[in-house]
Structure 1
Amino acid sequence: MRVIVDHPGWTPASEPRRTVRTENSAWTATAGATLILNRVGEGRDQAPAVDTYSPMDLGGSIPENLRSALEEQGPVQRLRTADLWEALATAIIRQVIRADQARLMYHRFCDAHGAPLPEAGPSAFPRPETVLALDEDDFAGLGMAFKRRPLIAAAGAFIESGTKWAELPADVLVEEVQAVPRIGPWTAGATLADVTGDFSLYPYGDMAVRKWAAHASPDIDWPTDEGTFARWWRSFAATPEQLSALTVLTLALGGPRGQDQPPS
């Protein structure tokens, strides 16, 4: 079993750690041979969901070399982000920049404005109310000036509509959040995949999926544009569950981090 730690909240260590929130609790996660979750402080919430994606869940239309690579890799575990606000804000942080830059920015933001834990572990992601109270200098001091407007807009929208959003099915919510300024299809899809574990919602035409599909099957003349690639990718799966497994397992071919630079 492998663990994919693609979310930038994971620390860059031999055994990455991450802090996640549920509705009334905080949890520390450790990614070793498997995922270990520990509640911090009081609370009765269930632990955040951990999804397992297996080559046995794949459809029958996958190119032979790609299937062989995914079967050799084996099952992959991934921790969901339980907090929709954090998932949305994280997808905004990931916009345009490289994965390593997004991790550095995420942790700087948490260290400066997040909630420290009473026990050892990374600080929890800042609440939307905290983000709304920050000024230009707060963002500029962290090298995040260009993230200020989309994060402020998302924080305001979440405070206003977050309760309603939580009641919407994923296929409706992925469209709803795009009404927020500077939230496009990539950001919305990455948000919903992160919070639901359903990577049929992920923008699977992006560079990371294209890169590792081509690496596993160099014999195929893969499309280089997102739209055409996405149509090909969908044709390899008969169900959303098969498409989700195919996408996560392919991202995991890139190693535990699973991600390359996302497109704009």
Structure 2
Amino acid sequence: MELDFERCYRAVDSRDQRFDGWFYTGVTSTGIYCRPSCPAMTPKRQNVRFFPSAAAAQGAGLRACRRCRPDAAPGSPQWDVRADVVGRAMRLIADGVVDRDGVPGLAARLGYTERHLHRMLHAELGAGPLALARAQRAQTARILIETTGLGMAEIAFAAGFGSVRQFNETLREVYAATPSELRVTRGGRPAPGGAGTISLRLAYRPPLHGAALLDFLALRALPDVEEVRDGTYHRGLRLPHGTGTAALTPADGHVAATLRLADLRDLAPAVARCRRLLDLDADPVAIDTTLAEDPALADQVRREPGVRLPHAVDGFETAVRAITTQQVSLRSARTTLTHLIRSTIPAGAVGFPSAEEVLGADDSAFRMPSARREALRGLARAVAEGELDLAPGGDREETVRRLLALPGIGPWTAGYVAMRALGDPDVLLPTDLGVRRGAAALGLPDDPKHLDRYADRWRPWRSYATIRLWRAA
């Protein structure tokens, strides 16, 4: 990916936080790379290089700045919203697919050869999938070193390294410090709650309307799965190697996260899913600027800047919720879903039932019309048999096509799943009652056809307009 030097240098010169994660600044005279907003950096133009990823900067022999921690910057918003192969690959790498399945597994998920995938990623990000995964492992290791009391060998394997030697070498290259030195620098105080408890800060680009996020999640919270309490969102997680819980509290400049994991190898996917759930890699200024050009939305954008699009930690869960919510109130859907959860997973279990558990449930678990029950079973069968990929790295167009081919799933359900599970930023739900009521409250057309045509002015951020219409309702 080509980076315009003058534009990047202006962002660095002004310490503009909005560009954190968009690119990384390397200073050849010091051998360090930083965020654009790093307060310690005043580089001369001739000593500056710009990189599209932390992995690319590391590949050029630079180490991470210890003050601004560029590896903990928000992710690039273009990889967060783009539906092409590179965007899908970045979301899957963040979820730990390379660590679990290797590059062959990543390439198979995307439907490309390893060589072609490497070529595409290197052209866009200056690094291949192994280098990108290595950079993520280094960050995971640093977090574990600084927030737990685990031994270094345990951390090495929990972070995904193949050996302690590889772990030591990587951290020396990335941070110019040994693992023991990193622990001494940060005090090495284990987080309260035990060895599997990690406390960290999740960065975002300001502004972030934390109340809107918590309002949205609280209204839809399911007992035994999630709750909002005292300004913190709590939920159970089902992760690749086990279960976990997350407590997420929006704060000034970051979201405070406390993760409790049965298996520390799940740290990277847990962080990635929490970031996606709260839409922390979005570019709110770009979104709000587009929506504020419409006079009908301008006042709301001014009063509530940074309203995010809550995504999902589990695409199957989102699809089940969408089908269950069809033509019923949120309260009724919550009662139905609570019965389904308690009928399919053991008491005290964490998270939402899997596709296999829903598929194996008897009729008494489904307190709903038979057609809707069979729609849920059809969905569960398609996911369990691998015919439907509802992960954030799935192909959006193909996933929507396959959803619409399933009995009992129409455009509203497919659109809702695309918006929340797949992270499509440009979905409008013109037939949704809440959307229509919100449109009417703002003086906009509430007829689905007219509203759909009107919403063209909100592209490519119609999903964010949808959230604002729900709030207006």
Shorter-chain TM-score above 0.5:
yes
Q: Deviations over 1:44-89 (max 9, x none)?
A: 2422023146365131674324211122012134542232222221
Does structure 2 conserve the Cα–Cα contact (< 8 Å) formed by 1:105 and 1:144? yes
What 5-or-longer segments of structure 1 have no aligned partner?
A: 255-264
**2:427 partner SS:** coil
Give the one of 227, 245, 260 matched to 1:11: 227
Sort the Cα spacing of 1:160 and 1:66 in 2 relative to 1 into closer, same or farther, 3 A: same
Take 2:302 and 2:400, find their aligned partners in 1: how far apart are those partners? 31
Structure 1 residues 12 and 112 mapped into 2: Cα distance closer, same or farther (>3 Å)? farther
Cα distance 1:99–1:32, how it changes in 2: closer, same or farther (>3 A)?
Answer: farther
State the Cα distance separating 1:39 from its structure 2 match.
Answer: 3.9
Contact 1:205 1:230 in 2 (8 A): no
Partner of 1:51, secondary structure, is coil
Distance 1:236 1:226 in 2: 15
Q: Distance in 2 between matches of 1:78 and 1:114?
A: 29
Distance (whole Å) between structure 2 residues aligned to residue 108 and residue 137 of structure 1: 9
Query: Deviations 1:163-187 (Å, cap 9, x if unpaired)?
Result: 6665642122111211111111111
2:314 alignment partner in structure 1:
83
Kept after mapping to 2: 8 A contact 1:189/1:201: yes
- Letter paired with 1:189: G
Which of residues 436, 446, 453 in structure 2 aligns to 1:210? 436
The residue that corresponds to 1:38 in the other structure is 259
How far apart are the structure 1 equivalents of 2:228 and 2:318? 19
Tell me how far apart the structure 2 counterparts of residues 8 and 112 of structure 1 sit (CA, whole Å).
18
Report what 1:131 is aligned to: 358
User: For this pair of structures, how many residues does the alignment match?
Assistant: 240
Two-structure CA RMSD over aligned residues (Å): 3.0
Distance 1:98 1:187, change over 3 A: same
1:51 equivalenced with 2:279 (yes/no): yes
| Aligned-partner Cα distance in 1 for 2:286–2:221 | 28
1:74 matches 2:305 = yes
State the SS of the aligned residue for 1:91.
Answer: helix
Mapped to 2, the partners of 1:77 and 1:26 lie a distance apart of 26
Q: Taking structure 1 as reference, are residues 17 and 103 closer, same or farther at Cα in structure 2, changes over 3 Å only?
A: farther
Q: Which residue of 2 aligns with 1:181?
A: 407
What is the alpha-carbon distance in structure 2 between the residues aligned to residue 67 and residue 205 of structure 1? 23
Quote the residue 1:243 is aligned against: 462
The amino acid that maps onto 1:244 is: S
Amino acid aligned to 1:41: A
Percent identity, please.
22
On the 8 A contact 1:55/1:70 being kept in 2, the answer is no
The answer to whether structure 1 residue 223 and structure 2 residue 442 are counterparts is no
Moved segments of 4+, more than 6 Å:
none
Find the counterpart in structure 2 of residue 158 from structure 1: 383
Q: Secondary structure at the match of 1:196?
A: coil
For the structure 1 residues 153 and 193, does the alpha-carbon distance in structure 2 shift closer, same or farther, using more than 3 Å as the test? same
Structure 2: stretches of 5+ with no match in the other structure: 1-208
Counterpart of 2:355, as a letter, is P
For 1:205 and 1:236, how far apart are their aligned partners in 2?
18
| 1:249-264 aligned within 5 A | 249-253=468-472
Instruction: State whether structure 2 residue 294 is matched by structure 1 residue 63.
Output: yes
> What whole-Å deviation, never above 9, does each CA across 1:228-254 have from its counterpart, x for those lacking one?
212211x222x42x3233222333445
8 Å CA contact retained: 1:114, 1:124: no
Secondary structure of the residue aligned to 1:230 is helix
SS of the residue aligned with 2:279? Answer: strand
Structure 1 residues 56 and 229, CA gap change in structure 2 (3 angstroms) = same
Structure with the bigger percentage of helix: 2
Cα distance per residue 1:4-49 (max 9 Å; x no partner): 3164444365545332434445443445545545243113242202
One-letter amino acid of the structure 2 residue matched with residue 85 of structure 1:
F
Greater relative contact order (CA < 8 Å, ≥ 6 in sequence)? 1
Greater shift, 126-135 or 143-152, is seen at 143-152
